[in-house]
Structure 1
Amino acid sequence: MRSMRLPHVLVACIAVVLLASCGRSHVVREGGSSRPRSADSPVRVSQPKYGATVVVQRGQNVYRIATENGLTALDLALWNDIPPPYTIHPGQRLRLYPGAQGSVAARPATTPPKKPAASTTAPPRTPAPTPVVVPATSKLAWRWPADGNVVGTYAGGDPTRQGIDIAGKAGQPVRAAADGVVVYSGSGLVGYGELVIVKHDDQWLSAYGHNRARLVNEGQLVKAGQQIAEMGRSGASRDMLHFEIRYNGKPVDPQQYLPTR
């Protein structure tokens, strides 16, 4: 099983556009693989702050706000109904506790809940979600992010196959698939290893996972074909690039947009 075949709820946050930086970050995983969590390692549990909210400031993302407030990024996203790719905006107000629909934690009760009276009224039906309309073409001139054979393909509706996997060698160049700005460069998303995410416009994002090294900073402008990382196996069982294209936050089949080769 490829490492990217993880349940959808394990994916944490994706950053908003940050201030441009003049430096370069170069993070290398020794040995080319991530160290598994020890059985004795504590699992961080969110401590809800009932009634408390925060207003998103420029340069913040879901992961940072959650960490600063003693929460997991996943809980913060679920409690505020933030869908993938977990984009937030300056001025947006976020709740630091689960609401009526919070699925992770519940407000501690001081008295046993009362048993609701029997009702013969049928509960209202939940409307079916509106399908995402993906354009047949993109105005962006996409290009392949790495050389190598495709060893994993996209499958619509399958949260474990949201992109493609391109096999290669450790240290091989990983390049931006189109012009854009780096909105995430880090290793905080479970299952992606060293990850770079590039925003191309208001609708299109691309993601590059399992890198050995990240060569760009958040907020940095990149050009199509520019090297942004080195291929590796962080969070994976082999050297490869996991590549995703997202339209309005929803994954699409990258091979529909990449040129034929």
Structure 2
Amino acid sequence: MGGVNHRIWLLSGAFLLAGCIPATNAPAPASRPAPVEEEVVRGDIFGGDVVGGDARPTWTLKPVTTNAVRVTASAYTVRPGDTLRAVGEMSGAGSEALAIENDLTPPYTLRPGQQLRIPAGLYHRVASGETGIGIAAAYGADWGEIITVNALNEPYILRVGQRLRLPSDARPVQAGPVDVGARAAAFRLDIDDIATGSQPALAASGKPTAGTTAPRKPVTTAIADPAYFTGRFEWPLNGPILARFGRIAPGKVSDGINIAAAEGTPIRATANGIVAYAGDQIGVYGGLILINHGSGWVSAYGHAGRIDVKRGQSVRMGDLIGRAGATGQVQTSQLHFQLRKNRIPVDPMKQLPPR
């Protein structure tokens, strides 16, 4: 059965850090219970055919250059004309880390003579097109921990030149450029990682791509959040519940529900949103679709036998997005369905209409 935490570090293709200074109230990281099963991602993750679709990859893979520098804790006295960004660049820690360390809030105005604490740590400078999970892979780090350490918030798009503080145990997997794709077989995939860490970094003045109803090909740039959330969900299809949310066996927890469905049964969008992922490169789920609904909500649809949408496509509640199947690690045709709010899986049965 699909649908529990399966880890990835490998995608180079990440959901925008609003501006270059994060808010300090990041959501708590989702807990990671023991998975029902582990699935190693195959080495051709960016070259496989999409179920029932074309052979174009979902992301453009971007190698990550391990350029992190270690900064020692110190203090800095603000001089006339200093800006937080300039002090961040000079110190190597970055403006985001300085804002967090010194409890600064917008518009981040500094005063001559003000004392700023420079936090110690290992800091990676984000390059064009890099993604959070690609960076995590390059340093052998956990992307969820990077989110927490840097107080990143939805929609988790990184900015070129941004300094990401790495966990204390992070180490470059190798010196220089890391070809994440060539090392894909060494990593495992987790839905939370894709939802929060798979969008390419934007230039400081760049804007994420708005969703479109009929993209000609998968969008490989960062995608903007939906403009609004309807506030309600509908069933993606009807059928008997095979597995419910929560603990299913000692030490095993399901992050969603599994719904029995005949092969070819239409799968419909549970709410308005933008497709964040559509492909079959994640072995445990087979055909998988992720939709970003805005306001922190993401829905996931696994084991699809056919996928009829592309990354970056806008969908409305009830739109056909694919067909049920038995792809991935299941023996019978079914749909694995998840809902996540601010990275945390929630019971879909409590959000869907009674039936």
| TM-score w.r.t. length of structure 1 | 0.60
Q: Which residue of 146, 150, 156 maps to 1:80?
A: 146
Q: Which residue of 212, 215, 232 maps to 1:141?
A: 232
1:28 aligned partner: 51
TM-superposition CA deviations, 1:15-74 (whole Å, max 9, x none):
539xxxxxxxx93269xxxxxxxxxxxxxxx996554532465xx7545xx2xx794798
User: Where does 1:148-163 land on structure 2 (aligned, <5 Å)?
Assistant: 148-155=239-246, 160-163=253-256
Structure 1, gaps ≥5 residues long = 18-25, 31-45, 109-137
Matched, 1:218 2:218: no
Partners in 2 of 1:70 and 1:249 — Cα distance? 17
Is the contact made by 1:77 and 1:86 (CA closer than 8 Å) also made in structure 2?
A: no
Q: State the SS of the aligned residue for 2:302.
A: strand
* Deviation of the 1:221 alpha carbon: 0.9
* Deviation of the 1:87 alpha carbon: 5.8
User: Where does 1:1-261 land on structure 2 (aligned, <5 Å)?
Assistant: 2-5=1-4, 8=5, 10=7, 16=15, 27-28=50-51, 50-51=68-69, 52-55=124-127, 57=129, 61-62=131-132, 66=134, 71=137, 75=141, 77=143, 80-81=146-147, 88-91=156-159, 93=162, 99-102=167-170, 140-155=231-246, 160-237=253-330, 238-261=332-355
Is the contact made by 1:212 and 1:233 (CA closer than 8 Å) also made in structure 2?
A: yes
**Aligned AA (1:254):** P
1:119 aligned partner: none
TM-superposition CA deviations, 1:91-111 (whole Å, max 9, x none):
17365x964143xx5789xxx
Q: State the SS of the aligned residue for 2:253.
A: coil
Is the contact made by 1:154 and 1:162 (CA closer than 8 Å) also made in structure 2?
A: yes
Partners in 2 of 1:86 and 1:76 — Cα distance? 18
* Deviation of the 1:188 alpha carbon: 3.8
Partners in 1 of 2:236 and 2:333 — Cα distance? 15
1:20 aligned partner: none
TM-superposition CA deviations, 1:103-153 (whole Å, max 9, x none):
xx5789xxxxxxxxxxxxxxxxxxxxxxxxxxxxx9622110012111011
CA shift in 2, pair 1:79/1:259, >3 Å: closer
Is the contact made by 2:141 and 2:169 (CA closer than 8 Å) also made in structure 1?
A: no
2:189 aligned partner: none
Q: CA RMSD in A?
A: 4.1
* Deviation of the 1:195 alpha carbon: 1.1
Partners in 2 of 1:169 and 1:243 — Cα distance? 15
Aligned residues: 197
* Deviation of the 1:190 alpha carbon: 4.9
Q: Percent identity?
A: 26
Partners in 2 of 1:209 and 1:190 — Cα distance? 10
Is the contact made by 2:280 and 2:288 (CA closer than 8 Å) also made in structure 1?
A: yes
**Aligned AA (1:10):** R
CA shift in 2, pair 1:168/1:94, >3 Å: farther
| TM-score w.r.t. length of structure 2 | 0.46
